[in-house]
Structure 1
Amino acid sequence: MPKLVWREPIETTTITNRPPGGEGPGPEAGLETVPRARLSPEAEPGPRRRVITLGDIAGRESGGLVVLLVAIGALTLASDEFLTGNNLSNLARQVAIFGIIAVGQLLVILTAGIDLSVGSILGLSGASTAQLLVAGMPILPSILLGVGIGTGLGIVNGLLVTKALLPPFIATLGMLGIARGMVLLSTDAQTIQGVPEAFQTIANGTILGIPNLLIIAAAVTAVMWFVLTRTVFGRYIYAVGSNPESARLAGVPVRMVTISVYMISGLLAGLGGVLLASRLGAGIPTAGTGFELSAIAACVIGGASLFGAKGSAIGAATGALIMGVLNNGGNLLAINAFYLQIAIGVLILVAVGFDQLNSRRSATGG
Structure 2
Amino acid sequence: MKILHKFLLILICLGMLAGLGFVLGRSWLDYEMETIDALRTESDTELVVESGSTATGLINRLYMPKINRYLIKYWVKKHSRLAAVKKGYYLIPKGTGPEDALSMIVDGREMTFSITLVEGNTVGTALATIKNNKNLKHVLKDDFTESDLKKLLNVSYRSAEGLLMPETYSFVKGETDEKLIKRAYGDMIDFLHREYSERKKDLPYRNEYEALIMASIVEKETSVPEERARIASVFVNRLKKGMRLQTDPTIIYGVRDRYKGRILLSYLKDDNDYNTYLISGLPPTPIAMPGKASIMAALHPEDTEYLFFVAKGPDPKQGHIFSVNEKMHNQAVQIYRQSVKEYKKKHAAETDADK
Coarse TM-score class (shorter-chain normalised): under 0.3
TM-score, reference length from structure 2: 0.20
From the two aligned structures, give the one with the greater helix fraction: 1
Kindly indicate whether structure 1 or structure 2 has the higher relative contact order, using CA contacts under 8 Å at least 6 residues apart. Answer: 1
TM-score, reference length from structure 1: 0.19
